[in-house]
């Protein structure tokens, strides 16, 4: 089976994670998907394929070199998709020999995927694309990665002349809500190093992520009849608006790129009596990251000076750190990935990840874990798509990495 066929088959699993849930995994649908993956892995000859009580799927491709004792490499992807974009009733379809122009995803609603708006399409003239009908995401983030890892397993099974060492496979739940590594048992996984297969275009080799935190602001107001409110009312919603206004407009996701960090307001609720704001705070540079957290603290202090002690409270929780410092001592991970991409016909390139991966946290848990591209684009969007030939090249890259670590 080709990687794109697996991706299309996986769209039937409506396995979005849910940040409001306290369970692990956060949704039962991820368990359904995990069970199906275990069965598929067993059908591919991965005899120890299993899912643990927390919904993590693990398996081992045994070395086919006699008396092999070398570096155990792992490949990791996540099973969940985001809930913020429609994810049910995905209608994936194949566009063969893409002509390089606009793609009419949905004639009834006139939904168009255009290379003028999404310039990554410009590289795929004459290639085959997997798209949706424009009303849902595709789920290539991260089912493309799962598909490529299991297609690699199939290639290795069917081609015993390709020599490889022991390879570990791991599929995680709840990555999209920041919990993918929470209960990942690194020791049980058993790899010396790993790669997440959770990036964008083919050829991406990523080892820099954001430093990340979540900030929650609670505001306490005082209500009174508006007819007698002068010098008495304290409107929590207006104070929330004031808080947001004291953060720089230019430091928002829609105004930043590359190494530029941001404050992203993801939730705002309010009444006169109480209000709350939730931000995710991101920056690649640890000094700038700390400065952003300090900015939130200073705004909180200033507003409490204006409206009285205890009006505004701030809680900041760090989510993950830039994994670069954990990858650099093991630079062979990047060198081998670059060589593998080149041998698969691509141009390896590294860009700062404007987000995080399970690998970012796993790298700080003793499993150095850079990230590889999947041949897919426009994640978390109804315009999400994947390129068939790029996915094939990603599979070849994984096979090449496995070969190279067999002789390292």
190-193 — which CB contacts under 8 Å span 24+ positions? 190/60, 190/72, 190/74, 191/72, 191/73, 191/74, 191/367, 192/71, 192/72, 192/73, 193/71, 193/72, 193/73, 193/74, 193/330, 193/333, 193/367, 193/368, 193/369
* pLDDT confidence of residue 355: 80
Fold of 211-320: Alpha-Beta Plaits (3.30.70)
As annotated, the active-site residues are: 80, 175
Task: Give the whole-angstrom CA distance, residue 174 versus residue 181.
Answer: 9
366 backbone φψ class: left, alpha, beta (φ>0; ψ -120 to 50): left
81-108, pLDDT tens digit by residue?
Answer: 999 999 999 999 999 999 999 999 999 9
User: Which residues in the chain show pLDDT less than 70?
Assistant: none
What's the distance, CA 206 to chain centroid? 12
pLDDT for the residue numbered 120 = 97
| Whole-number pLDDT of residue 317 | 92
Q: What is the pLDDT of residues 247-285, one digit of tens each?
A: 999 999 999 999 999 999 999 999 999 999 999 999 999
Distance CA 322, CA 296 (A): 21
**Can you tell me the distance from the alpha carbon of 300 to that of 316, in angstroms, rounded to the nearest whole number?**
12
Domain ranges of the chain: 3-208+322-406, 211-320
Contact 239, 306 (CB under 8 A): no
Candidates 346, 379, 300; CA nearest to 137 is 379
**Calpha distance 369→312 (Å, rounded):** 39
Domain 3-208+322-406 has CATH 3.50.90.10: no
């Amino acid at each position: 089976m080709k990687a794109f066929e697996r991706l299309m088959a996986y769209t039937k699993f409506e396995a979005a994670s849910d940040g409001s849930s306290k369970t692990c995994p956060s949704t039962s649908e991820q368990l359904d998907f995990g069970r199906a993956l275990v069965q598929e892995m067993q059908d591919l000859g991965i005899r120890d394929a299993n899912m643990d009580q927390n919904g993590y799927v693990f398996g081992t491709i045994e070395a086919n070199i006699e008396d092999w004792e070398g570096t155990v490499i792992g490949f990791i992807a996540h099973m969940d998709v985001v809930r913020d974009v429609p994810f049910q009733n995905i209608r994936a379809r194949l566009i063969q020999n893409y002509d390089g122009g606009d793609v009419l995803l949905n004639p009834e609603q006139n939904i168009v995927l255009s290379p003028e708006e999404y310039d990554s399409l410009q590289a795929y003239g004459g290639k085959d694309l997997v798209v949706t009908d424009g009303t849902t995401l595709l789920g290539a983030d991260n089912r493309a990665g799962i598909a490529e890892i299991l297609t690699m397993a199939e290639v290795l099974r069917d081609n015993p002349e390709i020599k490889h060492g022991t390879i570990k496979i791991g599929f995680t739940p709840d990555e999209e809500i920041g919990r993918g590594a929470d209960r990942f048992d690194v020791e049980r996984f058993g790899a010396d190093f790993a790669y997440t297969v959770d990036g964008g275009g083919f050829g991406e080799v990523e080892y820099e992520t954001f430093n990340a935190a979540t900030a929650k602001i609670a505001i306490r107001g005082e209500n009174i009849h508006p007819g007698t409110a002068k010098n008495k009312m304290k409107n929590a919603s207006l104070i929330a608006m004031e808080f947001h206004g004291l953060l720089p407009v230019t430091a928002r996701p829609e105004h930043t790129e590359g190494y530029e960090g941001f404050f992203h307001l993801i939730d705002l609720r309010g009444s006169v009596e109480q209000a709350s704001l939730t931000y995710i705070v991101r920056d690649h540079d640890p000094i700038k990251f700390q400065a952003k957290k300090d900015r939130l603290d200073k705004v909180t202090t200033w507003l409490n000076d204006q409206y009285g002690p205890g009006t505004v409270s701030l809680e900041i929780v760090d989510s993950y750190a830039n994994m670069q410092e954990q990858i650099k001592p093991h630079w062979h991970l990047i060198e081998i990935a670059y060589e593998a991409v080149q041998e698969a016909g691509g141009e390896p390139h590294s860009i700062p990840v404007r987000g995080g991966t399970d690998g970012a946290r796993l790298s700080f848990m003793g499993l150095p874990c850079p990230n590889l591209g999947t041949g897919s684009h426009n994640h978390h969007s109804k315009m999400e798509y994947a390129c068939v030939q790029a996915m094939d090249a990603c599979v070849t890259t994984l096979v090449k990495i496995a070969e190279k670590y067999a002789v390292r």
